[in-house]
């Protein structure tokens, strides 16, 4: 069984943990502008222009050329396009995570929970909101209703009604881990 998403709903669920709805929409709009012949793809020349325009402050010229070598004469569909632009966000999350003192904890539950928390904190608010919790549960293969997500949030999110901070998330993570 393949772990690579097979359809647009699966791709959107994958990116939901990394992008806010506004960021996803912005990329959809950018892709529409860059798909000059409206065939559902951005060609290499247009991709090179977009990367240079938007990311020359992040990537060196050499890094951009290396990135573009992967695509040779290939056209890029929307989800590949999104993947290119989420790479920077993932890198920032990893750098932030590496500097977090909790990641060096001797307790593997704390380390694992911190990693999961950082991945699903799409808006970098240092809290997990309802939408992010629902996305996380779906990614874990749990089918749950909005009511289920709300119940979990209310059980563990004691400080705020609609979000939980890391210490609350850790409590939930440990309870879920021990019941598995």
Say yes or no: 119 and 157 in one domain. Answer: yes
Residues 12 and 87 reside in one and the same domain: yes
Q: What is the mean pLDDT of the chain?
A: 77
Q: Which pair of tokens denotes residue 170?
A: 């850790």
Q: Please, what's the b/e burial string for 68-82 (b: 16 or more CB within 10 A of its CB; e: otherwise)?
A: eeebeeebbbbbbbb
- Work out the average pLDDT over 143-171: 88
Distance CA 19, CA 28 (A): 12
Backbone angles phi, psi at 15, to 5 degrees: -75, -20
C-alpha count within 13 angstroms, C-beta hemisphere, residue 14:
15
Tokens of 16: 């939901």
Decide: residue 40, CB within 10 A, 0-12 exposed, 13-18 middle, 19+ buried: exposed
Q: Is residue 107 a part of any domain in this protein?
A: yes
DSSP 129: E
Q: Are 112 and 58 found together in one domain?
A: no
Residue 66 lies in a domain: yes
Q: What is the pTM of this model?
A: 0.54
Kindly state the percentage of the chain with pLDDT values over 90.
Answer: 9
Backbone angles phi, psi at 104, to 5 degrees: -95, 15
| pLDDT computed for residue 12 by the predictor | 62
Domain assignment present for residue 122? The answer is yes
Q: Which domain holds residue 134?
A: 102-179
Whether 91 and 145 share a structural domain: no
If asked whether residues 50 and 36 sit together in one domain, one would say: yes
Which one has a higher pLDDT value, 112 or 95?
112
Domain of 61: which CATH number?
A: 1.10.238.10
pLDDT of the residue at 1: 33
pLDDT tens digit string along 31-42? 888 888 889 888
Residues 88, 134: one domain? no
Average pLDDT of the segment spanning 32-58: 79
Out of 40, 61, 96, a domain closes at 96
In a domain, 3, yes or no: no
Residue 67 has pLDDT above 60, yes or no: yes
């Amino acid at each position: 069984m393949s772990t690579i998403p097979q359809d647009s709903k699966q791709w959107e669920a994958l990116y939901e943990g990394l992008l806010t709805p506004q960021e996803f929409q912005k990329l959809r709009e950018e892709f529409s502008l860059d798909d000059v012949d409206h065939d559902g793809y951005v060609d290499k020349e247009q991709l090179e222009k977009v990367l240079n325009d938007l990311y020359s402050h992040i990537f060196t010229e050499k890094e951009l050329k290396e990135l573009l070598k992967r695509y040779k004469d290939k056209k890029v569909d929307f989800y590949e396009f999104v993947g290119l632009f989420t790479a920077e966000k993932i890198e920032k999350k990893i750098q932030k995570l590496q500097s977090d003192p909790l990641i060096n904890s001797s307790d593997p539950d704390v380390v694992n929970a911190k990693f999961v928390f950082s991945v699903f904190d799409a808006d970098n608010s240092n809290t997990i909101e309802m939408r992010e919790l629902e996305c996380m549960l779906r990614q874990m293969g749990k089918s749950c209703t909005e009511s289920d997500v709300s119940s979990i949030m209310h059980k563990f999110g004691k400080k705020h009604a609609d979000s939980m901070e890391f210490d609350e998330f850790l409590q939930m993570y440990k309870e879920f881990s021990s019941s598995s």
